[in-house]
Structure 1
Amino acid sequence: MKAYRIAIVGLGPKGLYAFERLLAQLGKLEIDKNIEVHLFEKSGNFGAGEIYDPVQPSYLLMNYPNRNINVWPSEILKPVVDNRLSFAEWIAKATYSKDSNLNDHFASRSMVGYYLTECFEKLYRAGISSYRIVKHRSSVVSIIKKAGVYELGYLDELDAKDQFLTVNNILISTGHCSWKGQLQEKEKPESTSETRKSFIPFIYPVDSKLSPIQSNTQVAIKGMGLTFIDALLALTEGRGGRFIKKDDESYIYEPSKREPGKIYGFCRSGLPMIPRSTGEGKKPYLPVFFTLRSIYGRIVPGDKPSFLKNILPLYILEAEYNFYKVAFHKRGLNLDPDDDVDRFRCQILKFHKDYPNEQTFNFENIFKPVDFQNPTYNLGPLAYLRYVMSEAELGSEKSPFMAAVLTWGNISEQFSAIYNFGGMTAESHRFFDLNYRSQLNRISYGPPLTNMKKILALMEYGILNLDYSKNPVVKRKNNKWTLKVANRVPVNAEVLVDARIPTNTSRDNWSELLIGLQNNELLREFIVPGKESYNTGCPEVDRSGRLIDSKGNINPDITLYGTLTEGITYDNDSLSRTKNNFASDWALRTAMSYSNIGLNSNIKTLRKI
């Protein structure tokens, strides 16, 4: 019997989780196992991928506390290896740390990478005793179906040769690389070296990608999310600058004279992310207003909920409840945990009557550069940054503002259950994706407070300028970039850095692999039906992650997992083992599929005898 070949394309964290479940399921089989497992990871960092490269600079921090990182699942079927440590346990052992707060810290991405690769090596060593496991430092660029099996075309990263492999079963977990179609075009060599030096379309790995930027140059950075922070730190701390901590835990910046002369950050909203302290998210959260029962109880059975009519109002109520829960507590009062809106409003009215100077909740102000205590005018970039940092220092148990801001992260699981697989109306999906997704990411999934203190120090020193941060007009002329905003003199930058992570805004962003799958009719775009159907820019899968082909048929042999499904699913955190977990179902199906083939082969062999 020919070997049954399984391929995992993309061996970052999601591919690692799938590999772990696959070995666990295959280990249950009681028939002879003639199995090959082929693992494709172009970075060579098996288990960590490109984002969690173990050799990246240590100043690039996670925005995910240590307690949430654990390769080993809490499932009935146990992993095939012993001595399974969570990330925090692994750090304690590796560093001999006795820090009781280690669970709450934000580690470097490189440290997470070391953990992930070590877990992979444990699994790899356990698996090679039973199966042929092949590691390919390669990019899979095509998948073609031929006579019931699949031919993978891949490019070896070391010798740049095109190669092919026939496989039976495939899981694809290529993460953000899935949406690098346009980006790859931008990264191609252009006509002159001067043009290449003036535009950097992607910052990772930071050491090599940002190296063309010379000291004392003027730099503009597009995007002000987590990648923006990484770019800033790479151009300052990464070039020998020092952040010196003061007694009040704030920083001052001491330059190295090798950093840019000025850095201009900008994005559509013009606002930085709201940071989080280490203690956020430790306690389980039980929604009061934003429940599935409340949402579906307000619509006709069989209808889909509307984001504006059925979902947003309950989110606002939930944020308002969290805001006042803290405000009441600061006055020694308790807010009744009751989902009766009228009673809730009565409590709020009485509270403001008794305490007229207390700040009033205004949902729109969550997204504006204002102080909740005095929201009559907009704060400047420096003042706003100081405000949100002071609130983050207090945390969501003491700051009504932070309690409201972090509400979305607490209810995202409930929202995912509604959003996934076209659960809202087409108009709602479009409206949410275009108007709310990025705003909610900015306020809910911000960086650790330590990193934002460094950003503040760079502003106070004067190297970082956010005066042109709100959606400037950007024009290129003579290999320079001009930033224009109303009521300010335009400024020029020698280099423009795009500090945004690729997303699936349309099929134009699809990778070569996805485009090939579509051209070969193995894939189609997920479209939410409606009066005006919505093209999500995401490949369509069923609720187990199995690919849907051009004719609407389920392909049991190809499964997508992780960021690649963002748009048909929501909130695919790269390190989560539970959110939109297609790995466990895939591993079980794969083992069952091989088991059936193995049993049939054994029957044929007996008949021949």
Structure 2
Amino acid sequence: MSESERHSGSGVDVAIVGMGPRGLSVLERMLVRLTEEPAASAVRIWTIDPGEHGAGRVWRSSQPDWFAMNTVTGEVSLYSGEPDGGPPRAGAGPSLHQWLTRHPDSRLSALGPCDYAPRPVFGQYLTSVFDTLVATAPRGVEVIPISAQVTRIDQAGGRKRLTTEDKSIVADKVVLATGHPKVVPNGCDDEFLRFAEDHPGATYLRGDSAAEMNLEGIRPGEPVGVIGLGLTFYDVLAALTHGRGGEFVTEGGLLRYRPSGHEPAIAAGSRSGLPMLARGRNQKAPSYRYRPRFVTDLALTAARYTAERTRGSAQLDFLTDLFPLLQLEVEHVYYRTHLKRMKGQLAEREFAKRHLTIARENPGAVRDLLVEFGLENLPPIDMLGMARPFKGEVFASPGEYHDRLLALLDADVAHAEQGNMDGPLKAALDILRDTRGFLRSAVDFGGLLPESHRDDFLGFFNPINTMVSAGPPAVRVSQACALLRAGVLTVVGPATEVRTDPGSGRFALHSSQVEGSRRLVSTLIDGRIPRPALDLDSAPLTRQLLADGVISEYLNGDFATGGLAVTPAPFLVIDGTGRPDPDLYAIGIPTENVRWFTQIGNGRPGPLSGFHADADAIAADALAEARVVTSALAA
């Protein structure tokens, strides 16, 4: 007899596989709906995860506190509604910042809404949300946590049987919210693993969350290489410096690093040769919502209409149909913010009104408008140039390259400190975050032509967008500069190549654009989070579902995206025959490239955000279709 069959009485069973933030959001919205419309029969919600329920693997509360969040506390909430004076419960609970104000640790309770919390503290918040949801579930609803990994899902007489290591659960509806995958080795990954196995002095750490990497085994002074200069790179730096007892101190207005003597010698590189740029100091209230002027629903409808007429397909070409609109939006904010600083609000409003009209109807006259308002000498917003600043440059030595790199990063930190509303550059680039909803509506579910999706959006724009708008807090960039100046960190250069060196038994990093840049390292760390790739996912459950044709990879024409195929909301899984399964849903990272930017692990306070709306779509469909609530809920 299965575990769920041991529970007496009739009713409906819903299983959520994966209880990180996405699974937690589905649970929260189910409980909201079951509170608003009481169930007609008993409801059991099974939450299944081998790790902490609420935090999952990536946000576990046991990780070191030198790993920081990348979103300010005031913009983070797992409750889909704000506190209303009553006890916290589904639909009404505190944001991360509000929860922190009551934290017993005074260092944490003092964090403001524009500060960044340690990652394990967010994990504590997530587990507290889960515990609160379980404790306050409405009458007739039971939430049953199972600490296990689901290894199979099979049909069982019109229901679904979920198998774990030691039990089985039968459910009417199943939600897959499995989060970041662990992928099987392939390509260079496999080559580096085999090299490390054959050379006892070499170690290779595969890409993952830095908290999951075995960094403790790295010896003081050991030469270490890091592939990638993104967010995981910053986490690895923190673990190998601050986490080893080093200190960052301000001396003469400049951040300096005082080594502990336990640090390794770190060499890092990437295609761009540039560490991810800093976010602007946050100046936006949690409830802030930007109103786009160019990237609007009307503009998207017009673009699809034109594409249909001219190309015979409503699918868009990203570079032709969408990128120019994004560029206009970014430039609009850039000019307005500069003008506000120079001449005040009245001039800004007058310019904004005229720029909206001229940029749409007579783009060639924009230059005259800039001259009229004294903006003609502003450096242009060149997102590609910012993300790839060293293209075509050759440096005579690592020192020459580092001088150039430090000057660029110091300037970036200065821009970030001006803020994401008062600083023209960071205010403009922050619009790329504020308009993600528009981009999702434009590109999700095959909204782009296959080759444009693959090459223009994912290959060209996505890395640039990530570099200039989704970076770390400015303090992390300042710390990287301090480590460069202290000689603890070396950035190898742009177009970094990583190879094995059998003669030395080590890995070699080299940039063809920097003379003398070659570095031999005994430990190599892949500082890149693996991209979702359904056929490479090592999870037994994914492999079984794919082999049995229960799930399938989403294809946009001839472009195999790597994402798990789902319908538009409520995100029903599409099987190997192309049919949606009415009882199986998927949300979050496994569906990346079918949808875009699914790695966001939280909602925002205020009006229902996309994060919570996605969860609510699943909750509404699962509960309505299972006939556990009144027909009014299904409507």
Same structural fold, with TM-score higher than 0.5 when normalized by the shorter chain: yes
- How far apart in 1 are the matches of 2:146 and 2:263? 38
- In the other structure, the counterpart of 2:610 is 579
> What is the CA distance between 1:358 and its match in structure 2?
3.9
Q: 1:321 aligns with which of 322, 332, 350?
A: 332
Is 1:49 paired with 2:80?
no
**Alignment of 1:125 onto 2:128:** no
* 1:482-561 paired onto structure 2 within 5 Å: 482-486=508-512, 487-505=515-533, 507-509=535-537, 511-529=539-557, 533-543=558-568, 544-561=570-587
Asked if 1 retains the 8 angstrom alpha-carbon contact of 2:384 and 2:464, the reply is no
Structure 1 CA distance, aligned partners of 2:381 and 2:139? 61
Q: Residues 479 and 62 from structure 1, CA distance in 2 versus in 1: closer, same or farther, beyond 3 angstroms?
A: same
The Cα shift of 1:363 comes to 4.7
Q: In structure 1, how many angstroms separate the alpha carbons of the residues matched to 2:228 and 2:435? A: 26
- Shift of the 280–50 alpha-carbon distance from structure 1 to 2, 3 Å rule, reads farther
- Look up the match of 2:3: none
**Aligned equivalent of 1:228, options 225, 230, 233:** 233
**Unmatched 5+ residue regions in structure 1?**
156-161, 372-376, 600-609
Q: Which amino acid aligns with 1:588?
A: A
String of CA shifts for 1:411-432, please: whole Å, max 9, x gaps: 2111111111111221221121
Report how far residue 274 of structure 1 moved. Answer: 1.2
Q: 1:15 matched to which residue of 2? A: 23
Is the aligned partner of 1:470 residue 2:495? Answer: yes
Which deviates the most, 560-569 or 582-591? 582-591
Deviates more, 1:557-566 or 1:17-26: 17-26
Per-residue CA deviations over 1:80-123 (Å, capped at 9, x if unaligned) read 55972221111112256898981111111111111111111111
| CA–CA distance in structure 1, aligned partners of residues 617 and 375 of structure 2 | 54
Identify the residue that residue 607 of structure 1 maps to in structure 2: none
Runs of 5+ unmatched residues, structure 2: 1-8, 392-399
Q: Is the 8 A contact 1:522 1:549 kept in 2?
A: yes
* Corresponding position: 1:93 with 2:88: no
Equivalent position of 2:463 in the other structure: 438
- Shift in Å, 1:142: 2.0
* TM superposition score normalised by structure 2: 0.83
CA-based RMSD: 3.4
Give the SS at the match of 2:567. Answer: coil
**Paired residue type of 1:63:** N
More moved, 146-155 vs 199-208: 199-208
SS at match of 1:94: coil
User: Deviation per CA, 1:284-336, whole angstroms, max 9, x where unpaired?
Assistant: 32222222322432414562221021111212222222222233334314322
Amino acid in structure 1 at the alignment position of 2:623: A
Q: Match of 2:627?
A: 595
**Which deviates more, 12-21 or 508-517?**
508-517
Q: Are positions 1:139 and 2:146 aligned together?
A: no
Question: Conserved in 2, the CA contact under 8 Å of 1:320 and 1:363?
Answer: no
- SS for the counterpart of 2:508 is strand
1:537-557 CA deviation, whole Å, 9 max, x = no partner?
111111111111122222111
Matched, 1:254 2:254: no
- 2:33 aligned with 1:25: yes
Q: Secondary structure at the match of 2:340?
A: helix
Alignment CA distance shift 1:125-1:190 (3 Å): farther
| 8 A Cα contact 1:277 1:395, kept in partner | yes
481-490 vs 459-468, greater mean Cα deviation? 481-490
How far did 1:502 drift? 1.5
Aligned residue for 1:171, secondary structure, equals strand
Residues 445-480 of structure 1, C-alpha deviation per residue, up to 9 Å, x if partnerless?
A: 111112222111111111111133532242242541
Shift of 1:505: 4.8
Residue type at the aligned position of 1:258: H
Instruction: State the distance in 1 between where 2:258 and 2:552 align.
Output: 53
- Hey, what does 2:5 align to over in structure 1? none
1:359 to 2:364 alignment: no
**Residues 351 and 331 (structure 1 numbering): CA distance in 2 closer, same or farther, change over 3 Å?**
farther
On the 8 A contact 1:197/1:212 being kept in 2, the answer is: no
Select between 227-236 and 267-276 the one with higher mean Cα deviation: 267-276
Give deviations 1:231-274, integer Å, cap 9, x for gaps.
010001111111123463x42111111110x2111122221111
CA contact (8 A) 2:506 2:521 kept: yes
Q: Which residue identity is paired with 1:37?
A: I
Q: Does 1:419 align with 2:430?
A: no
Instruction: Pick one of 376, 388, 401 that aligns with 1:368.
Output: 388
C-alpha distance in structure 1 between counterparts of 2:38 and 2:461, whole Å:
50
Name the structure 1 match of 2:297.
292
Match for 1:94: what amino acid? Answer: H
2:407 aligns with 383
Q: Say whether the 8 Å CA contact 1:295–1:305 is kept in structure 2.
A: no
Aligned residue number for residue 450 of structure 1: 475
Tell me the distance in 1 between the aligned counterparts of 2:375 and 2:162. Answer: 68
Q: Give the Å deviation of 1:175.
A: 1.0
Aligned to 1:570: 596
1:64 maps onto 2:71 in alignment: yes
Deviations 1:122-165 (A, max 9, x none): 1112239744433222222221223212222223xxxxxx5433
C-alpha displacement at 1:586, in angstroms?
A: 2.0
- Indicate the SS of the match to 1:402: helix
How many Å separate the matches in 1 of 2:207 and 2:200?
Answer: 15
- Contact kept, 8 Å, 2:46 with 2:144, in 1: the verdict is yes
Residues 571 and 241 of structure 1, relative CA distance in 2, 3 Å threshold:
same
Q: Secondary structure at the match of 2:321?
A: helix
